[in-house]
């Protein structure tokens, strides 16, 4: 498996169309990331180049750039910010893969699978530090302040998720609270910094932050559904890890709410099994109680809410892409 980082990051066709208005800036962001993610020490260089390709879709840099373009136009800071959010995203992915004991991501070995957990922890830390260096290089400290607060919220969400493992009494509210931190905080930050450094009004910055949050929530619900229903070859990452880690996500929370006590006990028995057939065992339950479609509907509602946040922006190609992304996140198969 090539980890030289030379091979270009593959962005799905449908996404590339949405990224078109900022294609040039995304390319410059890739170059910036490539420069940032090289090291004079061979081992570190090999690691960062591998890490560079784990991020994949580049959704977060695109959110920074599209938000900036939709809110008044791009400045040089936007490329730095785009690279910064991708570094933070990649750092969290690398640490997540340790948490989830995942072995494949974007059709590549995860760092913990190819090297070990220790390397993953340190590489994640290294990329966090790199991201902070980029943020610190900007004149206006708004970015470094928002991004460090955001990173805190992400970690807090993840910590609460770890705490919630094996808790099959987790409520929908807790679930939304957790994903609001671990996923939506960063997508919200991407859109807010994009708008802010484009010189948008505080009101517009707030609306973009809300757009990013709702988009992130829709994205995460879809991601959790994929983890239960997706095909590893298509999705290109380890799946079923939520069940394996007894992480209650929306479909499961819905299902457990819908059943009666004896059925609930049957379900908990299935969930507590250590074999790898939980997924098949649960499939008929999900269908019978339409728990998957319930989760998809919820994702649809957040995606709709995200679109509404954009209502005050004047018509641009960037705005069309931001709208288009709200469909993409709930329709995606990878």
Give the binding site for a copy of itself (CB under 8 A). 39, 41, 43-44, 47, 92, 95, 98-99, 116-119, 121-126, 128-130, 132-133, 135-137, 141, 144-145, 147-149, 151-152, 154-156, 158-160, 162-163
Could you tell me what percentage of the chain is helix, strand and coil, using 3-state DSSP and rounding each to the nearest 5?
75, 0, 25
How many Cβ atoms from other residues are within 10 Å of residue 172's Cβ?
Answer: 12
Q: Which is nearer to a copy of itself, 105 or 207 (CB)?
A: 105
- The least CB distance from residue 87 to a copy of itself, in Å, is 11
Q: Which is nearer to a copy of itself, 41 or 277 (CB)?
A: 41
Q: Tell which residue, 27, 28, 67, 36, has the closest CA to residue 132.
A: 36
* E-only strand ranges, 83-128: 104-105, 108-109
DSSP string covering 179-240: HHHHTHHHHHHHHHHHHHTTT--HHHHHHHHHHHHHHHHHHHHHHHHHHHH--HHHH-S--S
Q: Which positions ≥6 away from 193 have C-beta within 8 Å?
A: 64, 67, 81, 85, 142, 143, 146, 147
Alpha carbon distance 31, 38 (integer Å):
11
244, 277 Cβ separation under 8 angstroms: no
- The least CB distance from residue 260 to a copy of itself, in Å, is 30
Q: Which is nearer to a copy of itself, 25 or 36 (CB)?
A: 36
Q: Which is nearer to a copy of itself, 249 or 321 (CB)?
A: 249
Q: Which is nearer to a copy of itself, 190 or 291 (CB)?
A: 190
């Amino acid at each position: 498996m090539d980890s030289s980082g030379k091979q270009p990051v593959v962005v799905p066709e449908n996404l590339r169309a949405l990224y078109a208005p900022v294609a040039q800036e995304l390319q410059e962001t890739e170059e910036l990331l490539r420069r940032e993610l090289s090291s004079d020490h061979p081992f570190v260089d090999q690691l960062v180049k591998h890490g560079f390709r784990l991020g994949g879709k580049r959704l977060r840099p695109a959110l920074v750039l599209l938000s900036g373009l939709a809110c008044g136009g791009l400045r040089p800071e936007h490329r730095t910010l785009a690279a910064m959010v991708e570094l933070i995203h990649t750092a969290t992915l690398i640490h997540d893969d340790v948490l989830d004991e995942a072995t494949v991501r974007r059709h590549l070995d995860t760092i913990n699978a190819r090297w070990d957990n220790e390397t993953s922890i340190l590489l994640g830390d290294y990329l966090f530090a790199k991201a902070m260096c980029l943020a610190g290089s900007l004149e206006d400290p708004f970015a470094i302040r928002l991004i460090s607060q955001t990173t805190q919220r992400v970690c807090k969400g993840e910590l609460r998720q770890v705490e919630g493992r094996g808790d099959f009494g987790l409520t929908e509210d807790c679930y939304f609270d957790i994903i609001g931190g671990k996923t939506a905080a960063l997508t919200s930050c991407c859109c807010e910094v994009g708008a802010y450094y484009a010189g948008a009004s505080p009101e517009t910055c707030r609306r973009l932050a809300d757009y990013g949050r709702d988009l992130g929530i829709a994205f995460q619900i879809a991601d959790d559904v994929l983890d239960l229903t997706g095909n590893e070859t298509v999705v290109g990452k380890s799946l079923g890890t939520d069940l394996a880690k007894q992480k209650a996500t929306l479909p499961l929370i819905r299902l457990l709410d819908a059943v009666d006590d004896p059925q609930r006990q049957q379900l908990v028995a299935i969930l507590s099994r250590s074999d790898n057939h939980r997924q098949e065992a649960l499939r008929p339950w999900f269908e019978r109680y339409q728990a998957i479609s319930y989760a998809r509907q919820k994702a649809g509602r957040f995606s709709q809410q995200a679109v509404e946040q954009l209502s005050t922006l004047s018509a641009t190609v960037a705005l069309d892409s931001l709208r288009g992304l709200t469909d993409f996140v709930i329709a995606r198969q990878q």
